[in-house]
């Protein structure tokens, strides 16, 4: 379970404070598939970075799978991130000078696993996403959809409880996007909790639950139709000190 209570996150640059998250509270239960939508600059990605322990927060309380992460050291946060969270990005973020096998190997290396166990997990993750035969390919030798599937394999290899996806289909055509989403649904059915940030209302429809973020806060969600009619591009709350 992921629980955020009254989380605030402020970016400061000189005299300007940008409130990326304000009193942000959200609970995601184990096994859920949640879509997070909202206009650009509304705080969706900041939420994902905080949820993924890539960034800290200023106030509030965050419990991840029963652990209070507020006061953990960098080492402990990294370990928690490595063991419990998998990431999928819009730009795939595969490491260009490592082949697919070695890309999937990265999170397992930081878990200090034995070579035999790593090999087993990598093979199984690549088979799951249908890239078992492409293990020795370099990322540049794969299509966009294949690269995203490789990124999903990398995220799944460590057997995380949570999969955080930031616009996972943003760089893919509709056919590939559908395939990736099918794969995510399949993973969710296997028990992994998925939180997906997206602009795409069609994708959001396929999630079990939708959370709409505006100005760093969760807004009341009414209907997909009302989402569709809401203009994108609303500016985040800004304070000048």
Partner 1 sequence: MIGYYFRLAIASFRRTPGLTALMVAAIAVGIGVCVMAMTIYHSMSSNPIWWKNDQLYSVTLDNWSPNEPADKKRPSLPPPQLTFRDAEAILRSDIPKHTVIMYKSAGIVSGEGPRGPIAPINTRTRVTTGDFFPMFDVPFLYGGGWDRRADMGPEPVMVVSAELNRKLFGGIDSVGRTVRWNDREFRIVGVMDDWNPMPKFYDVNNDPFEETEHVFVPWSWGKTLNLLSYGNTNCWKPDDFSSFETFLNSECVWVQGWVELPDPATRERMQSFLDTYVANERRAGRFERPNNNRLTDVAQWLKDQEVVESDNRVLVGLSFAFLTVCLINTVGLLLAKFLNAASISGVRRALGASRRDLFVQHMVEVGVVAAVGALAGLGLGALGLKGFRQLYEYTQTGVLNRAGGLQALAHIDGTSVSIAIALAVVATFAAGIYPAWRIGRIHPGTYLKNQ
Using the rule CB under 8 A, which residue among 1, 5, 17, 54 binds partner 1?
54
Our finding on whether 192 is near partner 1 (CB under 8 A) is no
What is the distance between the alpha carbons of residues 127 and 219, in angstroms, rounded to a whole number?
40
Our finding on whether 185 is near partner 1 (CB under 8 A) is no
Which residues have a Cβ under 8 Å from the Cβ of 222 and sit 6 or more positions away? none
Our finding on whether 8 is near partner 1 (CB under 8 A) is no
Interface stretch with partner 1, choices 77-85, 129-137, 213-221, 232-240 (CB under 8 A): 77-85
Our finding on whether 49 is near partner 1 (CB under 8 A) is yes
Our finding on whether 17 is near partner 1 (CB under 8 A) is no
Our finding on whether 95 is near partner 1 (CB under 8 A) is yes
Q: Which of residues 150-169 bind partner 1 (CB under 8 A)?
A: 154, 158, 166
Tell me the closest approach of the beta carbon of residue 224 to partner 1, in angstroms.
26
- Residue whose pair of structure tokens reads 């705080």 in the numeric block: 43
Closer residue to partner 1, CB minimum distance, 72 or 206: 72
**What token pair was written down for 221?**
């969600």
Our finding on whether 110 is near partner 1 (CB under 8 A) is yes
Cα dihedral 146, 152, 156, 158 in deg (nearest 10) = 90
Tell me the closest approach of the beta carbon of residue 206 to partner 1, in angstroms.
23
- Tell me which residue of 27, 22, 17 sits closest to 215, measured CA to CA: 22
The count of chain residues that interact with partner 1, using the rule CB under 8 A, is 31
Q: Given the rule CB under 8 A, which residues bind partner 1?
A: 45-46, 49, 52, 54-55, 74-75, 78-79, 81-83, 87, 89-91, 93, 95-98, 106-107, 109-112, 154, 158, 166
């Amino acid at each position: 379970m992921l629980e955020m209570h009254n989380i605030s996150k402020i970016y400061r640059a000189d005299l300007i404070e940008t409130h990326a998250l304000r009193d942000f509270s959200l609970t995601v239960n184990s096994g859920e598939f949640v879509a997070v939508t909202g206009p650009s600059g509304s705080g969706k990605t900041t939420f994902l970075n905080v949820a993924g322990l890539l960034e800290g927060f200023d106030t509030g309380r965050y419990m991840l799978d029963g652990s209070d992460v507020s006061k953990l050291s960098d080492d402990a946060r990294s370990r928690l991130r490595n063991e419990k969270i998998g990431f999928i990005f819009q730009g795939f973020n595969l490491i260009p000078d490592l082949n697919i096998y070695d890309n999937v190997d990265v999170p397992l290396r930081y878990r200090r696993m034995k070579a035999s166990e790593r090999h087993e997990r990598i093979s199984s993750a690549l088979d799951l996403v249908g890239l078992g035969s492409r293990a020795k390919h370099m990322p540049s030798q794969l299509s966009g959809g294949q690269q995203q599937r490789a990124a999903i394999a990398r995220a799944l290899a460590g057997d995380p409880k949570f999969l955080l996806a930031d616009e996972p289909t943003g760089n893919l055509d509709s056919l590939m996007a559908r395939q990736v989403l099918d794969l995510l649904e399949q993973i969710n059915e296997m028990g992994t909790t998925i939180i997906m940030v997206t602009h795409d209302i069609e994708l959001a429809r396929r999630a079990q639950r939708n959370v709409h973020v505006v100005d760093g806060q969760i807004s009341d969600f009414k209907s997909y139709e009302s989402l569709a009619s809401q203009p994108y591009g609303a500016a985040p709350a800004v304070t000048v000190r």
